[in-house]
Amino acid sequence: MSTFDAIWEAPVQHIETDAEEVELIEAAKGGDETATLRLLASYMPQLRRAVGHYTRALSLDDARQSALLGFMSAIKAHDVSKSTRLTSILRHHLDAALSEDADQANGSGFTVPGRTLDRWRGIVAAAGGDFSAAAKLAPSHAMTEETFWTVFSALYRSNSLQALNVGDGSEPVSLVAPREIADAEDRVLVDLAFSSVDAIETLVISLAYGFGDEDPVPDAEIGHRHGFSRLKTLRTRQRALTKMRSALGVDALVA
């Protein structure tokens, strides 16, 4: 977790005097990270409120990222000769940054803001094109695993995965050899589906549909092996399938 991510949960640190805030703003404009973080800690209640207004349109990660960009924009634009406090322009810059990303997400039918997509692509590139590894890597790049798979799902539904450029920005690169694409996509979808269920659900689904080293096992036999009733096994399997269906963005899975 980066320092900027951690500060969302940190206690508010108020700036007591106008003179101190002016000094911090000028230092932050010059690239002083300590001054920027001190200002951020002071104005975190405003950022949290702004983020809260947009979480229906954006994921929490995306809304926080947009709010931070709005905060940095406010610092850059602030004129201390007109006001000693950042609060005089902060709300405008927060709303501008957040509404831009919300409009992009809601207006295009493709619900991944551009900056988030760039970050997602960078994570995939860092993992060498391995989506499962990239999901595990995502939290170290200020993106939760849940958000990573949400972006993946949006790309999959829009048939955009193979068109992604995960290289250095010069030209699209192939993640796998052409004859391996179908198998690779199957593996990715399986990983995505299983990422949505808990350990018991994973066990039941793996046995019921033959994802292990043996043929599919009936519900009654699964229950006998692991101390479940047949009804509990059935309900666990159905619950897991519902979660997987949601994760994959499909209308139905075989029950």
Q: What is the pLDDT of residue 11?
A: 81
- Cα 15 from Cα 53, distance rounded (Å): 25
The DSSP element (H or E) to which 210 belongs, if any, is: none
Q: What is the pLDDT of residue 65?
A: 83
The DSSP element (H or E) to which 194 belongs, if any, is: helix 181-194
Which residues, in sequence order, are CB contacts of 182 under 8 Å at separation 6+? Answer: none
What backbone torsions phi and psi does residue 212 show, to the nearest 5 degrees? -90, -145
- Cα 193 from Cα 91, distance rounded (Å): 40
- Cα 204 from Cα 222, distance rounded (Å): 7
pLDDT tens digits, the chain, 255 residues: what are they? Answer: 455 567 777 788 889 899 999 999 999 998 888 999 899 989 999 999 888 887 777 778 878 888 888 899 899 988 888 888 988 888 888 888 887 777 665 544 444 566 677 778 888 888 887 877 888 888 887 777 767 776 776 665 555 554 454 444 433 333 333 333 344 445 566 677 778 888 888 888 888 877 665 677 888 888 888 887 888 888 888 888 888 877 766 544 444
What backbone torsions phi and psi does residue 24 show, to the nearest 5 degrees? -65, -40
